[in-house]
Structure 1
Amino acid sequence: MAILSRQAGEDVGAYIMGRRMFGPGTGEWDQEWTGWWGPNPPYHAPVFVLSHHPREPLTMEGGTTFTFVTDGIESALEQARKAAGNQKVVIAGGANAVRQYLGAGLIDELLLHIVPVTLGAGERLLEGVGGLKLDPVEVIASPTVTHVRYRLS
């Protein structure tokens, strides 16, 4: 199982993210693209990027290495667990990756950050997943964002 959260705590040993969370577009990789975050991404741990297109691992400053996984979500989770050891594995997003892991029953906790902004477009996070039982564990509210932690059962 994995936890969905980019703020799951200091004991995160590896992350998994979807292709568009790492970079724009679909199709073959632009080999010059190294992510949205500059030379020192905020992860400081191994990150496994789900993709249909192979790419060599990309090592960045601060301990982040992006490994591109082309053989499915289960393989990415297995690799992330191995890399994390006794630490947590976090699904960092995007929506399609989250839906795949939720649909497969591979997430223990879901941390949603709710911001009162109308974006106008985007992907529905829980669309097509169905049958989820979300038990609220923690709610932290502020004027700009509400964080809700759910346990999936």
Structure 2
Amino acid sequence: MTAYRFYTATSLDGFIATPDDDLGWLLSQPIDQDGPMSYAEFIAGIGAIVMGSSTYAWILEHGTSGTEEGGDGWDYEQPAFVLSHRALEPAAASVRIVSGPVEALRGQLEEAAGDGDVWIVGGGDLAAQFARAGMLDEIIVSIAPVTLGAGKPLFTGAFDLDLVEHARNRAFLCARYRVLGPRQ
């Protein structure tokens, strides 16, 4: 069965980016690429990815490494779905620009994911949309030892979670939560 997973990082005060979408605070933190809850371990189980148009634009500008120099084009091998109401150009043949409620995409996402899981990339609002639709199984978050004071929130909904796993990866406190459901 396909799992829907939100894998991200946050500042200690709950922001995934500054108000102007800067991630410099995150990229300056030491992390062991082979350590607990590493990206390589996570991405190995992902069959499809889904993101909003703001995350898509940021990745196209900066690459997945997040540097100002950008990347070498589209770095993801998995089929990607970009939710947008705007007319966007796909960066690769594996990119599909889609619109509508996330629950209407379930069949397409699961077919594209095959035996893998679906990664909700970036956007706390997008992850919350999946949670409200009953389509978010896990939140895996790396908490950086920095506060931003303002920015793009980690999550935009009230949900109960169950801590399943935690570890330290150099500067980061990493935690994996099971999404139990909306707060009553």
Same fold (TM over 0.5): yes
Cα 1:104–1:149, aligned 2, differ >3 Å: closer, same or farther?
same
- 8 Å CA contact retained: 1:69, 1:75: no
Could you tell me which of 125, 146, 149 is aligned with 2:173?
A: 146
Q: Does 1:22 align with 2:56?
A: yes
Q: Give the paired residue count.
A: 139
Runs of 5+ unmatched residues, structure 1: 25-32
- 8 Å CA contact retained: 2:60, 2:73: no
Cα 1:77–1:16, aligned 2, differ >3 Å: closer, same or farther?
farther
> 1:28 is matched with which residue?
none
Q: Does 1:36 align with 2:62?
A: yes
Per-residue CA deviation, residues 40-79 of structure 1 (Å, 9 max, x unaligned), is 444221111111113343317xxxx221111231234432
RMSD (CA atoms): 2.3
Any residues of structure 2 matched to 1:48-127 within 5 Å, and which?
48-59=81-92, 65-127=94-156
* TM-score of the superposed pair, with normalisation by structure 2: 0.66
Deviation at 1:9, TM superposition (A): 4.0
Runs of 5+ unmatched residues, structure 2: 9-38, 64-70
Structure showing greater relative contact order (alpha-carbon pairs closer than 8 Å, 6 or more residues apart): 2
* TM-score of the superposed pair, with normalisation by structure 1: 0.78
Cα 1:44–1:35, aligned 2, differ >3 Å: closer, same or farther?
farther
SS in 1 for 2:137: strand
